[in-house]
Amino acid sequence: MFKGFSQDTFDFMSKIRENNNKIWFEENKKTYIDKVYHPMKELCAELYKPFSDIPAMMAKAGRIYRDEFFPPYLKYREDMWIVIRRNAWDWSKTPSLFFELSGDGVLFGFKIPKPPAGVMELFRQKLLASPEYFTSLVKILEDDFNAVIGGDEYKRPKPCGKVELERFFKLKGLTATVRITDKRVLFSGKLAQRVSETFEALFPLNEYFQELVTEYEASKAREALEAQMPEEQEITEMPKAPSSDFMW
């Protein structure tokens, strides 16, 4: 059961930035195991419980060790993360709930950081046609959970025509994040409750974008199928018998 992090947790995460090497890490490995790795695994299990019955949903707590996505100058992660999402080949193109631990505190929320352009085009079309549901979600997240809505922006915002929606038409992707630095929360089991409540409020936003991704992928699959159909028809078309029976 997750009981909170400790000062040792954040001291370790701060120092790994300055000492990202094997010698320092091996000297402090026990702190990593006891104060970072195990608490993150426990927190991941608690955060996943409300979503465990949803088909294809998975949760993962990252490890600090180097993987193929690391820049060459790093040996270890300088932040730790938890992600809850549906299985996908490229998580950056699909929606997810996430939790990130660093020496500065914790950051958690929702993100779809690098969706295909077609997904965001569908988002803008849906937003113009029926903005009420999405804007009501955003209002709850901003007013009740102090979430910050953002994301990478286009150099040239997409045309909108509605002042209240313009900020969303600037975005290439979308994030809704909450940051906590209060040690009274970080050092207690209340952190799990706080994050769980926020994830519950964020999940409709996650599903909103999941539907857009599913719709986009279905449309791409149809286009690919239609592009193949003429060639397939030529291959599978039965030969016609000649008018004369001489060759048959």
pLDDT band at 114 (very low <50, low <70, confident <90, very high): very high
CATH architecture of the region 7-223? 2-Layer Sandwich (3.30)
Contacts of range 222-228, beta carbons closer than 8 Å, 24 or more positions apart: none
User: pLDDT of 16-75, one tens digit each?
Assistant: 999 999 999 999 999 999 999 999 999 999 999 999 999 889 999 998 987 666 667 678
- pTM to 2 decimal places: 0.86
Q: How far apart are CA 100 and CA 125, in angstroms?
A: 32
**Mean pLDDT taken over the chain:** 90
* Whole-number pLDDT of residue 227: 80
Q: How many CB atoms lie within 10 A of CB 21?
A: 12
What's the full length of the chain, in residues?
248
**DSSP one-letter code for 64:** S
Sequence spans of domains, the chain: 7-223
Higher pLDDT, 72 or 246: 72
**DSSP one-letter code for 171:** B
